[in-house]
Amino acid sequence: MTGQAAVIDGKYEIVREVSREGHVTLSEVRAGEGVTRQVAWFDVTSPAARQGFHAYRAALRAVAPAGLTDVVARPGAYYAVWQPVTGTPLSEVAAQPVKHEETVQAVSALAAALAEHGYALPDADVVVEGRDVRVAYLRPAPPERTPEEVARLNAQALAALSGGRVRRQRRREPGAWLSFVPGLLLLGGAVYLGTQAARVYLNPPVREVAAVTGKPGQDAARSLTRAGFRVEYALGDAQGVPIGAVIRQDPAAGTNLPVGRLVTLTVNNPPSVPVPRLEELTVDQARTALRDGALALGKVIRADGTLTKTPQGRVIAQVPEAGATLERGQSVQLMVSTGVRGKETWLGNLTGLPYAAALQQVRVAGLVVTRVIQQPSDAPENTVLDQTPANYVRVPVGSPVVLTVATARASAPSQPTESLPLPPPPVPETPEPELGVPSEGDGGAPAVTPPAQTPTPETLTPETPAAGSTTPAPPPESLPEAPAAPEQLPAAPPADDAAAPPEAPPRTVNFRYEFPADLPAGNYTISVRDADGERELYGATDSSQFAGALAEGDEQVRGDAVFIIRRDGQEYATVTP
């Protein structure tokens, strides 16, 4: 309830605010049919405040107030409803010179009942109707109040009531003269009890402190107070212990302690923890996330995931929602999809699209790419050439899709290889006449021409004749053979067969890999590496599509092959067929 609220819990209309004490607001309200009531609203924002309200409710049950009409205790609504009670206020009764004995005894019994729950007479609005004592309203007691302070407040209230003369009820019965005998016995008992009380006060008994570790705080306090000890609470934090249970006691169990001494109980009150986001996770992944956050998995509800397009086994919603805070150890409820039922979808024409754009359209349509076939083509690399199912064919949501994408085609060199260099043609040398040898014109013997040496390629150099001069033609028998044309040159001798191993023939292998259900988040790719190099079979796909799925298919490879699964570019797993 806020200060601006006009209605409490949807049924009590606020007329005015009567008082405000601490975290309790008392308001005058109008209930059904115009009846006027008062509502004490408790602003419960912590475990300590909630525990205080439950102690207040226990006190109400003990004294059964006549003015109480209803007590509500549920998350977000803690309040008590009071109605008017007629009678004379206790303060006016105490001011009267003569009181009735029954009234004094009833007030004393009320004080004792309140003291058992940490309350005193000043906390209650008490009225007297005839000789009947009624509680019209009970105010919450301060949490730090001690039993000694309760006893002091009750003593003051009862002392004011005991002032003046108390009228005892007279009973006229035969043998009334013998009534002095019980009086004497009562007097003797009072003297004896007083003596014992003085002895106990001056020399209190010693008792052993019971072991209460692990018990609920209220049960532990009740056990110790019955043994005569005073109890005080302290807050602590421990794992594996229920909230509100005792995790430590001081003094320790087994200690001998005089009655009336203080025992401090440390109860488990861990800090709140945030609820993680569990949507789109599997139940096992959600359980792991909750366990890491010190929370527990609660009730799991199965629901149809058609409206939200949530795959089977994935979380649709959670209660409480992500970001809310809970006490450590509390549970979170989940709604899990049973799958997308009775819904069909279709794909547009993906031919000509880049693989990444086609993959996005497949995901939007609610389908899953399970295989990618690479085909040499003149189209740009990674361009979609074909698809299965065909475009605009209706298929169930979640059906597999096979895409055929283009890879670079092997081609011949763009420029032809140049011809082999040829040696230049040989040029014969002109011999010079030797000195002293007569020429033919002189009538001597004919000149002897020395045999020409066979030229070698290293000694042959092309000569350029001078302008206007004519190079004498060699004799026919000395002309060299014309060099062969390039097309007439013999082919290069084949390389030795042992120098190049034979090319491995293509073969078909089966790829099979089952992804774990708790697959780490990220983008996954599947590639194959063989004698032709490495090529990608499945493009980048979110882990939610692969988690718990079975990837299987036949692939044509050459030589030794290995399939590589990468997560965000890093190698995650390898499969050797």
DSSP 440-488: GGGTSPPPPPPPPPPP-TTT-----PPTT--PPPPPGGGPPPPPPPGGG
Indicate whether 436 belongs to any domain: no
Q: Are residues 67 and 122 in the same domain?
A: yes
Q: Are residues 19 and 121 in the same domain?
A: yes
The H-or-E segment that residue 217 falls in is helix 217-226
Indicate whether 239 belongs to any domain: yes
- Strands of the 68-74 sheet, one edge to the other: 7-8, 12-21, 24-30, 36-42, 77-82, 68-74
Structural domain containing residue 552: 507-575
Q: Are residues 153 and 224 in the same domain?
A: no
Alpha carbons 371 and 351: distance in angstroms, whole number: 16
The domain that holds 122 is classified in CATH as 3.30.200.20
Q: Are residues 218 and 110 in the same domain?
A: no
Share of the chain above pLDDT 70, in %: 77
Q: Are residues 348 and 213 in the same domain?
A: no
CB 162 within 8 A of CB 93: no
Averaged pLDDT for residues 329-353: 87
Indicate whether 368 belongs to any domain: yes
Indicate whether 127 belongs to any domain: yes
Q: What pLDDT band is residue 175 in, cutting at 50, 70 and 90? A: low
Q: Are residues 214 and 299 in the same domain?
A: no
Choose among 302, 274, 301, 304: nearest CA to 289: 274
Indicate whether 533 belongs to any domain: yes
Q: Classify strands 368-377 and 325-327 as parallel, antiparallel or unpaired.
A: unpaired
Q: Are residues 159 and 19 in the same domain?
A: yes
Give pTM, 2 decimals: 0.32
Q: Are residues 215 and 137 in the same domain?
A: no
Q: Are residues 260 and 277 in the same domain?
A: no
Hey, which of 381-385, 486-490, 530-534 has the most confident mean pLDDT?
Answer: 381-385
Indicate whether 288 belongs to any domain: yes
The domain that holds 237 is classified in CATH as 3.30.10.20
Q: Classify strands 230-236 and 262-268 as parallel, antiparallel or unpaired.
A: parallel
Q: Which of 236, 268, 300 is the last residue of a domain?
A: 268
The domain that holds 557 is classified in CATH as 2.60.40
Q: Which whole-number Å values give the CA distances from 32 to 35, 37, 84, 411, 420, in the listed order?
A: 6, 10, 16, 92, 114
Could you report the per-residue pLDDT of 430-440, keeping only the tens digit for each?
655 544 444 44
Indicate whether 547 belongs to any domain: yes
Q: Which of 387, 407, 427 is the last residue of a domain?
A: 407
Q: What is the pLDDT of residue 285?
A: 94
Q: Are residues 58 and 155 in the same domain?
A: yes
CB 227 within 8 A of CB 208: no
Indicate whether 401 belongs to any domain: yes
Could you report the per-residue pLDDT of 401-460, keeping only the tens digit for each?
999 999 988 665 556 555 556 667 776 666 555 444 444 444 443 444 444 444 444 443
Could you report the per-residue pLDDT of 202-241, keeping only the tens digit for each?
567 888 889 999 899 899 999 999 888 999 999 888 877 8
DSSP class of 497: T
| Number of independent structural domains in the chain | 5
Q: Are residues 31 and 104 in the same domain?
A: yes
Q: What residues have CB less than 8 Å from 297, skipping those under 6 apart?
A: 283, 286, 287, 290, 331, 332, 334
Q: What residues have CB less than 8 Å from 130, skipping those under 6 apart?
A: none
Q: Which of 407, 436, 455 is the last residue of a domain?
A: 407
Q: Count of alpha carbons within 13 Å of 547, Cβ hemisphere only? A: 20
Q: What residues have CB less than 8 Å from 350, skipping those under 6 apart?
A: 358, 361, 362, 384, 387, 391, 403
Q: Are residues 226 and 299 in the same domain?
A: no
